[in-house]
Amino acid sequence: MERLLNHKSQINNQMARYGVKFGIYKDGEFLERLFPFDPIPRKITAPDYEKLEKGLIQRVTALNAFLNDIYNNKKILVDKIIPEEFIYRSPGYLSACENFSPEKKIHSHISGIDLVLGKDGKWYILEDNLRIPSGASYPLIARSLCRKCSPDTFRNNEVVDNRNYGQLLKETFDNVNKGGINVIYTPGRFNAAYFEHSFLAEKSGAVLAEFDDLFVENNTLYYKSSKGPVRVGAIYRRISDEFLDPLTFRSDSLIGIPGIMMAYRAGNVAILNAPGNGVADDKGIYYFVPKMIRYYLDEEPILDNAPTYLPFYKEDLNYTLENFDKLVIKDVAEAGGYGVVFARELTKARKEEFIEKIKKEPRRFIAQEVIDFEDLPIVEGSETVDRKADLRAFVLAGRKTKLWPSGLTRFSRNPDSFVVNSSQGGGFKDTWIMSH
């Protein structure tokens, strides 16, 4: 490990060489920054990984079953496991996806599940990201650069190789491809995750396309090659549902592909991840995932949610109000670390205002116990300091559902903060899965 630390500046030079960046919009201006990398990896032991693997595959399998059910038979609603309110009022629910099952009934092909390791030694799921989870490219490139800068580190530590992500992604594409090329569809150079889009296209052998490169004719999606139209069999779209097809969703979308939903519903192209997945990664629905596992798989959840309360239920509302100061409140409509409020940090006036909001719109919020999750060491100047860190694990549902043996460990650079998102100034680490 010390060897890796000694090579910190070399590794950062390599990061700069390969332009490992992410973008943020600040005051309406697009800024591109190198993503701060910390060379001390998070290590996960083989037994711990085995449990994570089983638990995460179980979770994603249940979420896929839920998505297929909710857009078709709705048995889970009929059986009153989840109140209808949580489906039809969710902004992620799309009526345009009703009565349709995508190829092989896979809705979430690439899932990014956020977890933390509590100080009690247990992993807790914080969030499911089933729409367009970002981040795999960073540990992927970091690993290859660290190997280059400090080969001895990898000779002396038995770390499972993570450089197969491109292949896993290709298999995920190929499993649902309806005949044609694989495409990664990016909203363009000024998207926060553009580096990732282009890097994953290179690693998976997919064609990177922008809005002007694709068109739909006779319910079939084509890529405008300079040598003529080429049929697209599977598209990993990196734009939100609402912008995907101006003929179905937001008519003012300039970055969408007119008619793609018709091609999709005609079974002529696979869309990864399927439109409409937002209904399953809504923070309100999160509460119900353990119930989904029991309902669809008849199994007990292997991994726990963070203890969560839904003010929608009277009992939970009472608990939330009685224990307000020790809870973290999340707005279900927000993402990227926004809309997260630690109640203890609010002023008296803000607290009262917030409580009124919860009473008025209970469906809009969830309340969670603050998990005292682990700190990981990071290098700051010449010192090593402890900071809060989470883990985004990537589960790919191809012919088999697999957990990528790595993940994006994000850490807060602020000693007083639990928020680790890159958009909030956080950095990242590689995640090592040890082979024993």
Partner 1 sequence: MDYVSLTKTNRLYWLGRYCERVLSTTQYMMYWYDSMIDGAAIDYKDYCEKMGIPADYESPEAFIQEYIFDKENAFSLRHAAEEMLANGMVLRETISSKTLAYIQMAVNALELGKNDSAPGVELQWVVDDVMAFRGSCDDFIEEEFVRNIIKTGISIERLSLYLRLGYNLENVAKEMKKMLNRLHKSGLQTNAMSLGRIYLYGNENQLNISDEDLLKAVENLVVL
Enumerate binding residues for partner 1 (CB under 8 A).
16-19, 141, 181, 188-189, 194, 198-199, 201-202, 206-210, 212-213, 223-227, 230
Q: How far is the CB of 224 from partner 1 (least distance, A)?
A: 5
Q: Which is nearer to partner 1, 52 or 181 (CB)?
A: 181
Q: How far is the CB of 242 from partner 1 (least distance, A)?
A: 24
Exposed/middle/buried for residue 48 (C-beta within 10 Å: 0-12, 13-18, 19+): middle
Q: How far is the CB of 139 from partner 1 (least distance, A)?
A: 15
Q: Which is nearer to partner 1, 134 or 248 (CB)?
A: 134
Judge whether 323 and 342 are in contact, CB under 8 Å: no
Cβ atoms < 10 Å from Cβ of 54: 14
Q: Which is nearer to partner 1, 173 or 296 (CB)?
A: 173
Q: How far is the CB of 239 from partner 1 (least distance, A)?
A: 16
Q: How far is the CB of 16 from partner 1 (least distance, A)?
A: 6
Helices (H), 239-363: 241-244, 260-265, 283-286, 289-292, 314-322, 348-360
Strand partners, 230: 223
Q: How far is the CB of 68 from partner 1 (least distance, A)?
A: 32
Q: Which is nearer to partner 1, 87 or 181 (CB)?
A: 181
Q: Which is nearer to partner 1, 181 or 420 (CB)?
A: 181
Residue 264 identity (one-letter amino acid): Y
Q: Helix (H, G, I), strand (E, B), or coil: what is residue 350?
A: helix
HEC readout, 174-241? HHHCCCCEEEEECCCCCCCCHHHHHHHHHHHCCEEECHHHEEEECCEEEEEECCEEEEEEEEEECCCH
Give the β-pairing of 383-397 and 110-117.
antiparallel
Q: Which is nearer to partner 1, 190 or 338 (CB)?
A: 190
Q: Which is nearer to partner 1, 106 or 209 (CB)?
A: 209
Rounded to the nearest 5°, which phi and psi values hold at 202?
A: -65, -45
Residue 419 contacts by C-beta under 8 Å, 6 or more apart in sequence? Answer: 337, 340, 412, 426
Q: How far is the CB of 405 from partner 1 (least distance, A)?
A: 22
Judge whether 204 and 168 are in contact, CB under 8 Å: no
